[in-house]
Structure 1
Amino acid sequence: MLPWKTSPRVSLLSLLPMQTTSAVVGVDVSKATLAVCHQPGPSPQHLDVPNTPAGFRELVRRCGVRSLYVLEATGTYYLALAYHLVAAGAEVAVLNPIVVRRFIQMHLGKGKSDRKDAQWLWRFGQQQATPRWQPEEAALVECRQLQQAAELLIRQQTMVSNALEALLHQPLVCAEARRQLQLTRRRLDEQVQRIEAELLTRIEQRYAAEMPLLCSIPGIGRKTAALLLLFAGGFTRLNNHRQLIAKAGLCPHEYTSGTSVRGQTRITKTGGNLVRSKLYLCSWSACRANAACKALYQRLVAKGKHKKLALIAVCNKLLKQAFAIVKSGVAYQPDFAQKALHMT
């Protein structure tokens, strides 16, 4: 029998090694409530408060502003709390749910509840170094909301178009049903165009210097450049191009072990679905107009690599070029490699 099952006084967390740090508060966020684990005395304690401004104030009153609040990125439910804590002067760490899950598995955690999750978040803050979370500027938040609205409307466009096509293939077609579907599709087209135009205008205003630099890369147009800047947050929080490639989910993922396991190498596809699809479309024109991308594509195909794999490599190359150009502030130069070689 597990030791914490034998006595109610034995805590799950007391079985794990402690690491003394500043005050840590683990908060498991749900839509309606906040499950909290903190240690004001010799042992951790729990409390539950509503996920409302009044609950946020109660949480800060009970746990203080000099604590580190460790949260998990659960959709949008954690954002209001995180903003409130930062505005109050507290430190906040927002963790990837996968990281938390692996941490629990590493310590052989069993079972799941809101209070247990808050305990594990508290323990994570005690043991691990956690980067501090800061809210993004309002302009970027609004642009992302516009982008999400556009993606939702585009999905509705596809759904309505498919329904209209299926209707027209039937032997008997209701004129009113066809008219309403056509009207809905036109209305969605107009809404998407308005939102995309507004989004592009806002990004060009916010990144007036970076947009021309990215558009100078052959294969990257205005829409893709704007999408990259929004996706990467202006490249300000990235230290190298590898972080950008990983964020876009374009890292190769090898799956081999010993002599028996020989899985196919694929890209990770973690996050950045829209960026990957846009870059894949851009890779076709980059193979024709971008000298470095064209050479890379031809070299890989000549080695017998699949054309799709070569295009994925071109996507990575475009991200490398985008990162280098934005960070350096120098527009694309087709003969850059030759100039660098002569300088050395």
Structure 2
Amino acid sequence: MNQPATIVGIDVSKATLAVCHQVQDKFQHTEVSNSKAGFQQLVRRCGVECCYVMEATGVYYLALAYYLVEHGAQVAVLNPLVVRRFIQMHLGKGKSDRKDAQWLLRYGQQQPLPAWQPEEPVLVECRQIEQVMEQFIRQRTMVRNSLQGLQQQPVVSAVARKRLQQTLQSLDQQIQALEAELLTLLEQHYTREMPLLCSIPGIGRKTAAQLLLFAKGFAQVQNYRQLIAKAGLCPREYSSGSSVRGKTRITRMGGGLIRSKLFMCSFAAKQSNAACKALYDRLVAKGKNGKVALVAVCNKLLKQACAIVQSGVPYQAEFTSKLVPNP
């Protein structure tokens, strides 16, 4: 983004916004409520000809970010880990809302800021459905464990078992209904992308839907390396000098849900996907662990998904096999 001269740091909490802006080389602090009235007060004080810098703190920053963008201000939403490392790098001591807001201002003054824009409404809606579905899946796992534990006891209450079975059945129905609604929404909106992703052997409708949510419809993806890094599938070497020789592992800093989905897809892809099969066989022949080879297949699937959506050409086994050298 083209950074304006004025940067405003905002530490967001559920009820309040700690605001720090600079006036004639002096830090000015104020606090407003995290509500529309507080947003109006903030804009009257700081204006819209500046960049507001905040962290992605759950859902509490969203209403403020939407309001500021709608009124013409620039907004940057940062990963909290990035800000924490910035503070550590400058040997920051102590923590408070005022200090955090000041550190956000200093970060905005010293570092390039990514411009934040609201997501498409369909993606927001689908992500909310996905979150509810994941909550129900966790609840279903808890109920199944409770039911199994109950049945292991020497005396089993028929009433308790019946209620658990009814709850389990209800959760199954809710999950299936949410899954169908999610797929329908994405297929209606992404009429071009869904068939392209489903053309890749190893990727079905559910995974294609997860990929679209994860990549935000692939609208802002520049290359497949961004997706691999965002999914936490990048290899990370751990070595130093001659004494430290740790194992190379993936970073796991990113989307755990899409990572688990791709890993399950890799089992089918190494059998049916020409490029993935060649890659898997080549790595295993070199003595690589099977799990390492499957992670490489996950990366290959992301690379294929990015290329196919951007080109608009469905999967072609003959085309991909030419790009993969013989093992």
The answer to whether the superposition gives a TM-score over 0.5 is yes
SS at match of 2:23: coil
Q: Which runs of 5+ in 1 are unaligned?
A: 1-19
Name 1:223's counterpart in structure 2: 206
RMSD across aligned C-alpha pairs, in angstroms?
A: 1.3
Write the deviation string for residues 223-280 of structure 1: whole angstroms up to 9, x where unpaired. Answer: 1111101110111111110000011110001111111111111111112111111111
SS at match of 1:35: strand
- Give yes or no for the alignment of 1:249 onto 2:222: no
Structure-2 separation of matches of 1:282 and 1:340: 21
Say whether the 8 Å CA contact 2:274–2:320 is kept in structure 1.
no
Q: TM-score, normalised by structure 1?
A: 0.92
Structure-1 separation of matches of 2:250 and 2:193: 28
- Give yes or no for the alignment of 1:168 onto 2:151: yes
SS at match of 1:34: strand
Q: How many residues align?
A: 322
Name 1:237's counterpart in structure 2: 220
SS at match of 2:84: helix
Structure-1 separation of matches of 2:213 and 2:189: 10
Name 1:131's counterpart in structure 2: 114
- Give yes or no for the alignment of 1:328 onto 2:290: no
Say whether the 8 Å CA contact 1:28–1:114 is kept in structure 2.
yes
Q: How does 1:1-344 map to 2 (within 5 A)?
A: 22-337=5-320
Say whether the 8 Å CA contact 1:21–1:126 is kept in structure 2.
no
Structure-2 separation of matches of 1:233 and 1:146: 15
Q: TM-score, normalised by structure 2?
A: 0.96
Say whether the 8 Å CA contact 1:245–1:316 is kept in structure 2.
yes
Structure-1 separation of matches of 2:120 and 2:301: 27
> Residue 40 of structure 1: CA displacement?
3.0
> Residue 42 of structure 1: CA displacement?
3.7
> Residue 108 of structure 1: CA displacement?
1.2
Residue type at the aligned position of 1:177 = A
Cα distance change of structure 1 residues 338 and 178 upon mapping to structure 2, 3 Å threshold: closer
SS at match of 2:43: helix
Residue type at the aligned position of 2:255 = G
Residue type at the aligned position of 1:61 = R
SS at match of 1:170: coil
Cα distance change of structure 1 residues 338 and 75 upon mapping to structure 2, 3 Å threshold: closer
Cα distance change of structure 1 residues 89 and 155 upon mapping to structure 2, 3 Å threshold: same
SS at match of 1:335: helix
Structure-1 separation of matches of 2:23 and 2:117: 26
Cα distance change of structure 1 residues 106 and 340 upon mapping to structure 2, 3 Å threshold: closer
Q: Which runs of 5+ in 2 are unaligned?
A: none
